[in-house]
Structure 1
Amino acid sequence: MAAPLALLLGISLALAPPLAQARSLRFVTLLYRHGDRSPVRAYPRDPYQESTWPQGFGQLTQIFIRSTDYDRTLMSAEANLAGLYPPQGQQVFNPNVSWQPIPVHTVPDSGERLLKFPLSPCPRYEQLQNETRQSAEYINKTRQNLEFLEMVANQTGIRDVSLESVWNVYDTLFCEQTHKLLLPPWVTPDVMTRLKQLKDFGFEFLFGIHQQMEKARLQGGVLLAQIRKNMTSAANASAPQHLKLLAYSAHDTTLVALQMALNVYNGRQAPYASCHIFELYQDDDSNFSVEMFFHNESGREPFPLTLPGCDQRCPLLDFMRLTDPIIPQDWARECQVASNVQDTELIVALAVCGSILFLLIILLLTVIFRIQSQPPGYRHVSNEGEEQP
């Protein structure tokens, strides 16, 4: 009895459906802001000019991947990689150095078209910004803060302080305050709070308020298109998959542009070292899903982010469908304003017509020249002088 029972059990197991595979993490994309830095610049009457900062303006403090071509983002990338990947085994080239070299890829700042926002040149985006300046929200915000902005201009020595430029003042004061420098008497806690609120409004001006979806196609949608491409490649079973993690070391404006495009922005500036996380999972049914998180507070787990219209665990196909409207199909063409497109088409048409006319003139001149070059008096007449039947 034992043998037939064993045989029956074996057949049953062979015919049973295979056990479902556990859900597995397949690919991760990180977009993070650089770490603590000195101010980008000082205002004219600032008591702390560049000589105050040993490392100069816009540099990281204390700590000496695709990254923008700035020292602070490159150094942040290197520091993060040093913490993530200490050498092990054959990777140890010096027992006294717990570090291994890992390449950080970048492009010159003038050619950056992925991580530095707002992207330019883009005439249509500039047109949208001009329209935003005419919106009721922008006009009312300017009117409500006009006296305050004038006070800031007088105290700083900046000729013109607007809703778009006030972030520079806040950023400089914030850096000085963070590094325990004594702020001028006019910089009260209430002033800092108000400057912060206007700075946050400045981010919304860049990527929202008016025609947010079209702004997204011209700005954050460009980076999102690359992130989607990377995830799709990672989910393609037929493609060789080597990368498990892709990190972008960038800026607060990069994070805001992306999160405004995804419509998950919380309305506040991304703090130093904050990180937007995309996790691609292969589910137990072999389909793929995407989860997003935002780490913006030390000592706490990352906050889950939910793409509008989907669950926090969003099927990859739904993620792609919901983000399709904010992905530019031809960024250069979409960046042109309507009149420029028409003008370009007219110029092309005129150029074609002009080329055809030029060729016709050349042909006509060639014929005339050949006629004039024949000997005088020569004339070819068919059958001349022959008797007619």
Structure 2
Amino acid sequence: MKQLVFLLISFIFAQDDLVYVQAVWRHGARNYYHCNWNCIKDQPRGDEAILTPTGMRQQYILGKWIRQRYIIEYQFLSSKFNENEIYIESSDENRTLTSAYCNLQGMYPEGPSIPHFKKENESLLLPPNQGAQIPRDIGDDALPHKIQLIPIHTQQKALHYPIVIQCPKMNADNKNTQLYKEVNIATAQLYHDFNTELNLQGDEKVNDIIELSHWRDTFICNRYNGDPLPPNLKPKTLQQLDDLANLAQSLEKFQTPNQVKIQSTPYFQRLIENFDSALAEGQNVKYFGSSAHDTTLGCLLSALNLTSAQCQADIYLNQTYIDFAANLIFELYNNINTGPFVKVLYNGEYVPICSDFAKTCEYTRFRSIISAQLVNYSKECIESNQEINFTYYQTPKWAYLGFGIVILLLILVFRAILKLRQTLVQREKE
């Protein structure tokens, strides 16, 4: 009887051990993409979608939230940066790369210190440049203000399938679907109000949901970055533009379940591989972070059945925008009695995955749900001549030709030297 009670108590109070965390977030606030209002067209602007100071602050605070949860409260990660524990990737865009750095500055606000050298050895801290000096008041901090720099891994856009939503072979004409046409018809009044308030005439008039979302993108960027909005744009119209944002994106990029499956496969395939590895091998890496885009999160949310183009259209104009710095976090736990399970957070709140209500999901169940979404991505998306993307790293043909010519010249010179030497030896004998 005592053993039974002990087992029951152990079962009830068994600790849920956090094993692995995989997070993906949208970059912070950026500059606008589309020059459609209050801008000078054809004027060079560098990276038009660069992360702004507001976006930097957003990501820094998100990083502090992650630190509070996984370093301070859960004590899951070391308080100081440990390169064996975390791996951070980013798409090859300035806004996502900078977002990752700002996020990590929030996670690890204090960088390392240098050895305390005595005066005669301070030169070891300097580069070998004449006149180089140690900054004043830097003390023993490696960098000013204890800045911590952490490596961010990236690949060229054409190859970064898990976090850059793309499918080269998919040529879906989503604008000609019945759903797209129905949404455009339902948006007629909004088009009329928008064109009137902005005084758009003739060819300037907007009559397409995706084009309207481009205008909305400009306005949301202006709001976040303290720039002005059109003076006659009514708050009600602006709110309707916000509500349309996710719907327009879904209709354009992943309108059908098959499009969602194909484009979410690379991320989910890697998620399952990482979870399986963490359970089987107890690998050192415990936190995997991806700095990505709204399309990334939108596609993953659709794949998890948390939203979809059809669902968004059915409850038209009642959607939640995938905001700057929005984030999706997958937590893998293990319980000594009940086994591994998964919990998923969206913007810091647990969301149901296995059912409409349950906030936890047995790993075997979660794995089967995700596996059902996976397709043969290479077959569906990779062009037969896709290897051209790798030629960026290959030696050009002219280099091979030049190398061959140099080798040939060296052989001829070497033969000439040998012949000259033989001639001199022959003359000495004579």
The residue number in structure 2 matching 1:233 is 277
AA in 1 matched with 2:278: A
- Can you give the 5+ residue segments of structure 1 that lack an aligned partner in the other structure? 1-11, 296-301, 342-389
Runs of 4 or more consecutive aligned structure 1 residues displaced over 6 Å after TM superposition: 50-55, 89-92
The residue number in structure 1 matching 2:284 is 242
Deviation at residue 49 of structure 1 after TM alignment:
4.0
Distance 1:226 1:153 in 2: 49
Q: Is the 8 A contact 1:132 1:205 kept in 2?
A: no
Distance 1:51 1:205 in 2: 29
Q: Is the 8 A contact 1:132 1:138 kept in 2?
A: no
2:326 pairs with 1:263: no
Query: How many residues are treated as equivalent by the alignment?
Result: 309
Give the 3 Å change call, closer, same or farther, for CA 96–185 of structure 1 in structure 2.
closer
Deviation at residue 76 of structure 1 after TM alignment:
0.8
Deviation at residue 219 of structure 1 after TM alignment:
1.5
Paired residue for 2:373, among 326, 339, 344? 326
Distance 1:174 1:52 in 2: 21
Q: Is the 8 A contact 1:133 1:139 kept in 2?
A: no
Q: TM-score, normalising length from structure 1?
A: 0.68
The residue number in structure 1 matching 2:345 is 293
The residue number in structure 2 matching 1:41 is 34
Distance 1:198 1:272 in 2: 16
Deviations 1:200-245 (A, max 9, x none): 320231466x53x212211223322221221121111xx2501110
Distance 1:166 1:136 in 2: 15
Among the aligned pairs, what percent are the same residue?
22
Q: Is the 8 A contact 1:252 1:269 kept in 2?
A: no
Give the 3 Å change call, closer, same or farther, for CA 133–74 of structure 1 in structure 2.
farther
Give the 3 Å change call, closer, same or farther, for CA 268–222 of structure 1 in structure 2.
farther
- SS of the residue corresponding to residue 192 of structure 1 reads helix
AA in 2 matched with 1:233: S
Distance 1:192 1:133 in 2: 26
AA in 1 matched with 2:302: M
Deviations 1:322-376 (A, max 9, x none): 2222111x1232359xxx99xxxxxxxxxxxxxxxxxxxxxxxxxxxxxxxxxxx
Query: Greater CA radius of gyration, 1 or 2?
Result: 1
Give the 3 Å change call, closer, same or farther, for CA 96–147 of structure 1 in structure 2.
closer
2:266 pairs with 1:222: yes
- SS of the residue corresponding to residue 148 of structure 2 reads coil
- SS of the residue corresponding to residue 20 of structure 2 reads strand
Query: Superposed, which structure 2 residues align to 1:115-134 within 5 Å?
Result: 115-117=163-165, 119-123=166-170, 126-127=172-173, 129=174, 132-133=177-178
Deviation at residue 53 of structure 1 after TM alignment:
11
Q: Is the 8 A contact 2:341 2:362 kept in 1?
A: yes
Deviations 1:28-47 (A, max 9, x none): 0111111122212321xx22
Q: Is the 8 A contact 2:331 2:343 kept in 1?
A: yes
Paired residue for 1:113, among 153, 161, 181? 161
Deviation at residue 316 of structure 1 after TM alignment:
0.5
Per mean C-alpha deviation after superposition, the further-off stretch among 95-104 and 53-62 is 53-62
AA in 1 matched with 2:49: G
Q: Is the 8 A contact 2:206 2:212 kept in 1?
A: no
- Can you give the 5+ residue segments of structure 2 that lack an aligned partner in the other structure? 58-87, 116-139, 313-318, 385-430
Per mean C-alpha deviation after superposition, the further-off stretch among 28-37 and 217-226 is 217-226
2:111 pairs with 1:87: yes
The residue number in structure 1 matching 2:420 is none
Paired residue for 2:326, among 262, 274, 299? 274
2:51 pairs with 1:60: yes
Distance 1:274 1:198 in 2: 17
- SS of the residue corresponding to residue 122 of structure 1 reads coil
Deviation at residue 286 of structure 1 after TM alignment:
6.0
Deviation at residue 312 of structure 1 after TM alignment:
1.3
2:350 pairs with 1:304: yes
Aligned-pair Cα RMSD in Å: 3.6
